Amino acid sequence: MLRVRLRPKLFRSGAPWKLLGLLATLFAAGPVGAIFAARLDWMSGWGLTDRIDMLAAIFAAGALYIATMAGVLALIAFGLAARRPVLDLELILASAKGERLRGGGHHAMDAKRSEFTIRIINIGMYSGRSPVVEAVLLSAPGCQLVKVATSKLPPWSEVRSILYNFPLFNSALEWRSADDVIHSDGGYLDLPPLSIEGLLVGMNPWLRIKAAADGDSTIKSFRFYVP
């Protein structure tokens, strides 16, 4: 199964980390500067009282500098750690010659070729780790979602969806991975294909798909008619 992993431009340039490195250097330079100034003060020809007063002023200024730089570094580190991806979903039908559906509207489905692939896309600036996807089939009595092929990715598993008691509910599968990463700037991950098993002719199946990774989530619905 094809997986494309793109490194984000932000991390290719390394701009945030260079800034963090510069601030860390300035943070370290503060104490060094204070010690150097204190040495010059002590070696000056001033009286003892004047030199002690100057040392106190130097170290007070140094302490304030260190506290300020520590706060700035903490804020930047928090900002780097709090980055989230922006997820989107596409559906690729085997019967539609690779056409990618983005949700909305009603789409034709071939009853003899009901296989489809879910694609998770990250359109944000930051990578998404440990993705989880839930696929729920609705409005297709007597039908269910089934796995149709093996893959290097973790397999789908049955799950008791929150829509289990919904009158139109038919079946639900969940896919999750602790190892896969969906990188930014359009990076995507194609999940193992699924199919709808059962008598579909004349029905209007409805797929509800939810994806989540690193604090971001999205839900899309795909409605079909089967002539």
Tell me which DSSP letter residue 96 carries: G
What angle separates helix 48-81 from helix 15-43, to the nearest 10 degrees? Answer: 170
Please report which confidence band the pLDDT of residue 63 belongs to, taking 50, 70 and 90 as the band edges. Answer: confident
In this predicted structure, what is the pLDDT of residue 36? 64
Give the C-alpha distances (Å, rounded to integers) separating 95 from 6, 91, 107, 205, 206: 29, 12, 11, 15, 17
Q: What is the mean pLDDT of the chain?
A: 80
Percent of the chain with pLDDT over 70: 74
Question: For the segment 72-120, what is each residue's pLDDT rounded down to a tens digit?
Answer: 777 777 766 667 889 999 999 887 776 788 877 788 888 888 899 999 9
Question: For the segment 162-197, what is each residue's pLDDT rounded down to a tens digit?
Answer: 898 899 999 999 999 988 999 988 999 999 999 999
Q: Which residue has the higher pLDDT, 123 or 39?
A: 123
Give the C-alpha distances (Å, rounded to integers) separating 50 from 36, 53, 115, 161: 17, 5, 85, 75
Question: For the segment 4-15, what is each residue's pLDDT rounded down to a tens digit?
Answer: 333 334 443 445
Percent of the chain with pLDDT over 90: 37
- Cα 68 vs. chain centroid, distance in angstroms? 31
Rounded average pLDDT over 208-218: 91
Among the ranges given (4-13, 40-49, 96-105, 204-213), the one the predictor scored with the smallest mean pLDDT: 4-13
Distance, in Å, from the CA atom of 61 to the CA atom of 55, rounded to the nearest integer, reads: 10
